[in-house]
Amino acid sequence: MQKEKEFESLVKRMMELLGEDVNREGLIKTPNRVFRAFEFMTQGYHQDPIKVLNEALFKSDNSQMVLIKDIEFYSMCEHHLLPIIGRAHVAYIPDGKVVGLSKIPRMVDMFARRLQIQEQLTEQIAEAINDVIAPKGVGVVVQARHMCMEMRGVEKTHSTTTTSSLKGLFLKSNTRKEFFDIINAPQATRF
């Protein structure tokens, strides 16, 4: 409760510094709304990737690539506290165990729900999979729009940033090519 009140007080002061009347009808509850929004958007600080992934590890003889494509996420730039809107493509090659499919998007969200830079987000996802699942290889590609580039500064509204992290077998040219071919293939009709 103390943290909430302090946060709301800071938001109220910020609005005053911007020249707003914090007592006008539309702004009276804004400090609490902002607190709740930031609490949700940064909940990843209170989640553990080891726990998320370990809860759904299963033995498997599969030795072929497992890929979850187009995982939508929202994050916030650590430099300006503005939104990052993107998609992650995450693949791994099992080595005796697989993870429940829903855990990969949950892990993407966990790392995205922290103040971030895209490069670090990409690496955190790859490292967590590599460390917990211990696969033969991991490939992560993140494509995102950054509101700090679109809403201010250079104001480039059609720019997309792409980052990747490849580990193990994904460093080999044939696996790397297969991974990029799949994620860049035209999307089939949705199910």
Q: Which band of pLDDT confidence, cut at 50, 70 and 90, is reported for residue 187?
A: confident
> What's the confidence (pLDDT) of residue 13?
97
Task: For 55-88, write each residue's pLDDT tens digit.
Answer: 899 999 999 999 999 999 999 999 999 999 999 9
Residue 127 has phi, psi (to 5 degrees) of: -65, -40
Report how far residue 27's alpha carbon sits from residue 73's, in angstroms, rounded to the nearest whole number.
Answer: 28
Q: Which is catalytic among the residues 8, 89, 116, 118?
A: 118
Catalytic residue list contains 20: no
Catalytic residue list contains 89: no
Q: Which is catalytic among the residues 4, 6, 78, 119?
A: 78
Q: Show Cβ contacts of residue 1 under 8 Å, excluding neighbours closer than 6 positions.
A: none
Three-state DSSP class for residue 124 = helix
Contact 128, 104 (CB under 8 A): no
> What's the confidence (pLDDT) of residue 131?
94
DSSP letter, residue 13: H
Share of the chain above pLDDT 90, in %: 86
Contact 126, 108 (CB under 8 A): no
pLDDT at 191 over 70: no
Catalytic residue list contains 77: yes
Domains of the chain and any CATH numbers: 2-41 (1.10.286.10), 48-184 (3.30.1130.10)
Q: Which band of pLDDT confidence, cut at 50, 70 and 90, is reported for residue 189?
A: low
> What's the confidence (pLDDT) of residue 190?
65
Q: Which is catalytic among the residues 47, 80, 120, 143?
A: 80
Task: For 145-184, write each residue's pLDDT tens digit.
Answer: 999 998 888 888 889 999 999 999 999 999 999 999 999 9
Q: Which band of pLDDT confidence, cut at 50, 70 and 90, is reported for residue 129?
A: very high
> What's the confidence (pLDDT) of residue 55?
81
Catalytic residue list contains 80: yes
Phi-psi region of 29 (alpha: psi -120 to 50; beta: other; left: phi over 0): alpha
Catalytic residue list contains 72: no
pLDDT mean across residues, the chain: 94
pLDDT at 133 over 90: yes
> What's the confidence (pLDDT) of residue 186?
87
